[in-house]
Amino acid sequence: MSADRAVLERALAAGEQENGSVEFKERLSKDLHLADGRLESLAAQLRHRILSGEGEATYVVGVTDEGGIAGIAPEKFSESMDVLSLLAEEADSHIESVETWGVDGGLVGVATVREGALLGVEDDHIVVGTAGHVDHGKSTLVGSLVTGQLDDGQGGMRGYLDVQPHEVERGLSADLSYAVYGFDGEGPLRMDNPHRKSDRAGIVEQADRLVSFVDTVGHEPWLRTTIRGLVGQKLDYGLLTVAADDGPTKTTREHLGVLLATDLPTIVALTKTDMVEASRVEAVESDVERLLREVGKTPLPIERHGIGVACEEIGATVVPMLRTSALTGDGLDTLDELFERLPKTGTERGPFSLYVDRTYNVTGVGAVASGTVKSGTVEAGDALLLGPFPDGSFREVEARSIEMHYHRVDRATAGRIVGIALKGVSEAALERGMVLLPREADPRAVREFDAEVMVLNHPTRIDSGYEPVVHVETVSEAAAFYPEGGQLLPGDTGTVRVRFKFRPYLVEEGQRFVFREGQSKGVGTVTDVSPAE
């Protein structure tokens, strides 16, 4: 909330004049204001306000046409901002800032809309995937980092990342969630409320360096979703949380195995250190160090060796560790400095490609494909190929617009988590695991490929016809394994023929993947996408 009502008072005093830059709206509704051609007329009204304000318009939401303060429910205010964002996009502008005030249980707000929405986003940007056992505090830790607020001891910060009603009610994340904060050379830039899209957009606009979090799922039944988050996104780093009051668990080992098997540089944060005695923290720290050494990694306590050494040494064999508490704030400054200094690692050279992770249908915009840009650059207006469809084909589509954490950008480069509005396809036809490529690409979907795999765990042996779920990029699909030699035992490394069970996908040589079925799991690398029969 803004403590200074002067912005609101100035807007109300200026009033809604025919040739003025101020517009009063009690609320904006998707059902009402985006239906029956109203999008175009309201966007034209917005353009008029921007021209009258010499490039800037002021929208006061939660007031009557006469400027009387009415206030609207927070969810209606959020919907109003969504609609205003769509109007701004249609009017080639963007929401620059939003200030809100509480009135009688509702909200009234002032949104500043400025012409020229097309921000280049050439800033430094790292993507961090979080993992850890349920109730080990990963979502709470991320919530404190992106808001700068300490937790209330009841997991209040976690609520900023749980988005489904059942997640909030049960306190368990059930799908991937995303958060962002940044740095501007003078320190961290954080959000008052990560649920407010304009807050996220403001961080993207202002920051010289961005840190995006892909927060995964800690509950064992959703391990498949966690693997999707760690394998399907183009992550730069992993952040594994281990609670000091619990210590490493079976799920901790599972998540650590996925992080390290995919060669992702990883940081371990001991959380909830405020809840136990110092001796218990030291004991858990020793358990984690032992666990890391068991898998051939060298633990590096940041408190002992410093942030500079951690930034230089993190990689294939070294795993920095630190102690944190979202309740007291211990270790949060260290994480800030670490994320400000860590280099970008997860980008790939080559033409544009993006594996689709999520799909949406946005009223007034259409089908939206969301994911992380794997390589290259995409610009609004680009002609692209989308596929493969179930028959293995690819179709031409157009990138109508691009958003990054709710801020419209004109282009996106490798490593950016973006949503791309597509012209030429319906949302119903979009599927996770599809890929977007340049129109001139000549992709070939495959039903089977050869790979080198390592069996990390299996109760007996892998025989021909074994069917795990294969996770490669954002693809999660059942596949049959046909090992060379007929079988593989736990700990074995060998060549297998992998055949997707239901449909073809775009798979490329060199891609890493994870496979899992029950307690069995392993990792692999694609070696040949044109195997001889």
Q: What integer is the mean pLDDT of 436-460?
A: 88
- Predicted confidence band of residue 426 (pLDDT cuts 50, 70, 90): very high
Phi-psi region of 433 (alpha: psi -120 to 50; beta: other; left: phi over 0): left
Cβ–Cβ under 8 Å, residues 443 and 387: yes
Residue 148 contacts by C-beta under 8 Å, 6 or more apart in sequence?
188, 190
Q: Rounded distance, CA 420 to CA 380, Å?
A: 8
Instruction: Report whether pLDDT(121) > 60.
Output: no
Which H or E run contains 370? strand 366-375
- Predicted confidence band of residue 346 (pLDDT cuts 50, 70, 90): low
Alpha helices in 295-431 (DSSP H): 302-305, 307-313, 332-341
Q: What integer is the mean pLDDT of 117-122?
A: 42
pLDDT at 274: 94
pLDDT at 155: 63
Most confident of 233-247, 279-293, 401-415, 502-516: 279-293
Domains of the chain: 6-115 (3.30.110), 124-341 (3.40.50.300), 353-438 (2.40.30.10), 448-528 (2.40.30.10)
pLDDT at 157: 63
Length of the chain: 533
pLDDT at 507: 94
pLDDT at 363: 61
**β-bridge pairing 475-483 and 493-500:** antiparallel
Coil/strand/helix, residue 217: coil
List the one residue out of 242, 240, 321 whose CA is nearest residue 275: 242
- Predicted confidence band of residue 268 (pLDDT cuts 50, 70, 90): very high
Alpha helices in 222-344 (DSSP H): 223-232, 250-261, 278-294, 302-305, 307-313, 332-341
Could you report the per-residue pLDDT of 455-497, keeping only the tens digit for each? 876 667 888 999 988 888 888 899 999 999 888 887 778 899 9
Phi-psi region of 62 (alpha: psi -120 to 50; beta: other; left: phi over 0): left
Residue type, 326: A
List the one residue out of 262, 238, 240, 239 whose CA is nearest residue 251: 240
Q: Read off the pTM.
A: 0.54
